[in-house]
A and B are shown apart, each in its own frame.
Chain A
Amino acid sequence: MKRQFQLRFRRTRNLVKFLSMVTLILCIGTGFAYSKELPPVKIGAAGPFTGDLSKIGLDALNAIQMAVEEANAEGGIKGRKIEVAIGDDMGDPSKGVLVAEKFAMDKNVLGVVGPMNSATVSAALPAYDRAGLVIISQSATNPDLSERGYRVMHRICPRDDAQGPAAARFIAEEVKAKNVYIIDDKGTYGQGLADQVAAALGPLGVKVTRGQITLEDRDFSPILTRVKATQPDLIYLGLSNPAQAAGLMKQAIGLGLSARFMGGDCMKEKDQLVAGAGGAAEGMYVTAIGKDIAEVPAAREFIKKFEGKYGAMSVFSGQSYEATKILIEALRVAAGDDPAGLTKAKALDAVHSIRDYKGIMGFPIGFDEKGDVLGASIYVYQVENGDFREVKEYPAEV
């Protein structure tokens, strides 16, 4: 009885040995088979996907992923699959550098869409430059970024020194304001844009007074009381957080302050600004660095698909999609007939020489020597019945 059991046990053990051998061989075999296929090309997505700015970040990420899925359905890059590598910087410059270093270490990451905030781009640029990894930012507007001589820097949004003067022209020529108060939040974007508007308003004969708040402020009564004392016709908000602007406008009503408001491209946000201000945003002007793509015929299909999948678009979804498409297009050009030989350097050259790319933004996109976008316009919108209505267009000249 006992012997029989031992025998059977030995037999089972042999069977297990045999099976594991077979599995091992199969694994090695398939391993070889797999290694013949090229590794996927990765596109880095850098932006604030958690934290205060996560709303705009996640909408951008959805658009990037959608563009990649579409490209994969068309065969990727000459047969190589495309993957999105996610780098969450929370809008924090120090985390932006970490994300850049993470992307730089992965040899399959050949291009990056983002980072989104001017401050994060500014901090991370040296790291991207060391790695020779090309970036296309969809929303970093600070002029200084492309003046520092980093060849990897590209962006598809016009700079603040185009947006600021356009806003100033609108204030002087259309609103006909004589006395303007400018409030900024001390940030790279907010103060940078406010500086541009202030500098352009001076020569136009408009009186400018300036004041600052911080990104953490929730109580705007102290500054608004100061604003009220100067009795401005218009208050310009160089802020990056639309929720903060909404609070400020509501508190202004509580103080009996009745001036027009105007803000930059970050303010063009329905949920936090228009709904958040509960009627106080009515009549406010915002400049936008891209056309509302709902008005571009070529973008209709994108909008339908995006909104069907992820719900209402926010301010940078279209630009993120476009930036990703441009990067993929450049990678395809760079790959030529040799997808295996794709390198970061080739990708950088290809992005740099993109000209007349026709996508969903409503104007042919190309980059100049510094990586700034060519042919863009600045649009002025006004909040009307809880929605944004285009009121003016200016060519983006620096």
Chain B
Amino acid sequence: MEQILAQLPQQVINGLTLGSIYALLALGYSMVYGILRMLNFAHGDVFMVGSLIGWGVLQLFVRGETTLARSGLALVSMVCGAVIVTSALGGTIERFAYRPLQKGSRLTTLISALGTSIILQNVAMLLTQGRAKAYQTELVISSDWAISALGATISATRLIIICVSIALMLAMDYAVTHTMLGKAMRATSQDREAAEYMGIRTQRVISVAFIIGSGLAGIAGVMIGLYYTQVDFMIGFSAGMKAFTAAVLGGIGNIRGAMAGGLVLGLAESLGVLFLAPVYKDVIVFSVLIAVLILRPQGILGKPVDEKV
């Protein structure tokens, strides 16, 4: 018991860090589902591409002056590089893999998403020769910058991850609730046909949703690289599964729900480890999902779907 209490603060920090990354990824899932009612299973792999791009940019700094890397310039360029590439990738995937199939059944786009995921994974495997790529986190953010409180070590990396994610989530929330684009998104998600009649270019709204979601996945990719300190071509699958779970947990299609779902999931994963062996952390995650779905099928913040007459 004493040991469990001693671990508690650290595991909460671990959970918040991981949870905020899941939340960022879940946003992309939820946004696309809210508008198109489709599951974008390639989202996890876009995230993986983002993490590898971040690694590539970091290597440019590693070869040059290391003081330059420490100044924060490296972090900014890694994030920018990843966001540019993943946004472009997201837009391209939407244009060529999903848009031609929009008229077909929902299952068709789902299969197309799975195919895209496999392609991205294999291309990344060939380009990296299947090897793990080490993130030199210590060059970007010194491992000496850390706060110790209540027996928990909060490194600067974790703090940055949590702060950046929360800032991005607040920004997203504001954008969806207060801007014209957000209004257009909400309108499109409620009734695409009616939104079209009101003069909203719904196709463009869909593209923008994909681009923003993929950009967020890119940022999450760089953050996971800094947190895990190494990335490889396989990380997209499990992260994608977790983010999808988070989105369902929070109420799929609901932006705030996705954020809440991500944080709950991250905390469940690391707090569950207090009582069970760490090997079971995925079991804990999916048990939480099942429990929530039994008690609240619409998710934590989701609204029950009214029976349409």
Contact = CB atoms under 8 A, between A and B. Distances in A.
A218 B277 CA distance: 16
A355 interface: no
A251 B18 CA distance: 13
B136 A278 contact: yes
B278 A247 contact: no
Interface in B221-261: 224, 227-232, 234-235, 238
Contacts of B238: 216, 218
A358 interface: no
A30 interface: no
Contacts of B95: none
Contact of B278 (A54, A222, A277): A222
Most central of A225, A243, A256 by chain B CB within 10 Å: A225
A17 to B, nearest CB: 50
Contacts of B153: 254-256
Contacts of B146: 254, 256
A247 B134 CA distance: 8
B279 A255 contact: no
Contact of A226 (B227, B231, B278): B278
Interface in A180-197: 186
Given A222-B11, A229-B3, A251-B229, A246 B278 contact: no
A276 interface: yes
A12 interface: no
Contacts of A279: 138
Contact of A54 (B7, B130, B157): B130
A272 B277 CA distance: 27
B3 A276 contact: no
A272 B132 contact: yes
A243 B233 CA distance: 13
Contacts of B269: 222
Contacts of A340: none
Given A225-B7, A226-B278, A247-B228, A51 B132 contact: no
Contact of A250 (B7, B11, B137, B279): B137
Given A219-B18, A255-B153, A279-B138, A229 B7 contact: yes
B279 A212 contact: yes
Contacts of B11: 222, 225
Nearest to B62: A278
Contacts of A214: 279
A219 B228 contact: yes
B228 A218 contact: yes
B143 interface: yes
Contacts of A219: 18, 227-228
Contacts of B224: 218
A216 B238 CA distance: 9
Interface string B261-287: 000000001100100011101000000
A51 B234 CA distance: 11
B136 A216 contact: no
Contact of B232 (A50, A54, A211, A243): A243
A222 B270 contact: yes
A211 B278 contact: yes
Nearest to B280: A212
A275 interface: yes
Interface residues of B, number: 40
A221 interface: yes
A212 B277 contact: yes
Nearest to A257: B153
A52 interface: yes
B303 interface: no
A25 interface: no
A214 B280 CA distance: 9
Interface string A249-281: 011011110000000000000001001111100
Most chain A CB inside 10 Å of its own CB: which residue of B129, B134, B238, B277: B134
B138 A278 contact: yes
A107 B277 CA distance: 49
A254 B18 contact: no
Interface string B136-159: 111000010010100001010110
B116 interface: no
Contacts of A54: 129-130
A311 to B, nearest CB: 13
Contacts of A253: 138, 143
A50 B148 CA distance: 44
A221 B138 contact: no
B171 interface: no
Nearest to B233: A52
B134 A275 contact: yes
Contact of A55 (B3, B131, B143, B231): B131
A52 B129 CA distance: 9
Interface string A87-115: 00000000000000000000000000000
26 contacts: A50-B130, A211-B277, A211-B278, A212-B277, A212-B278, A213-B278, A218-B235, A221-B270, A222-B278, A222-B281, A226-B278, A229-B6, A229-B7, A246-B132, A247-B229, A247-B230, A251-B228, A253-B138, A253-B143, A254-B137, A254-B146, A254-B157, A254-B158, A255-B10, A278-B138, A279-B138
Interface of B: 3, 6-7, 10-11, 14, 17-18, 129-132, 134, 136-138, 143, 146, 148, 153, 155, 157-158, 224, 227-232, 234-235, 238, 269-270, 273, 277-279, 281
Interface of A: 50-52, 54-55, 186, 211-214, 216, 218-219, 221-223, 225-226, 228-230, 243-244, 246-247, 250-251, 253-256, 272, 275-279
Closest 6 CB pairs of A and B: A243-B132, A256-B153, A222-B273, A250-B229, A223-B278, A221-B14
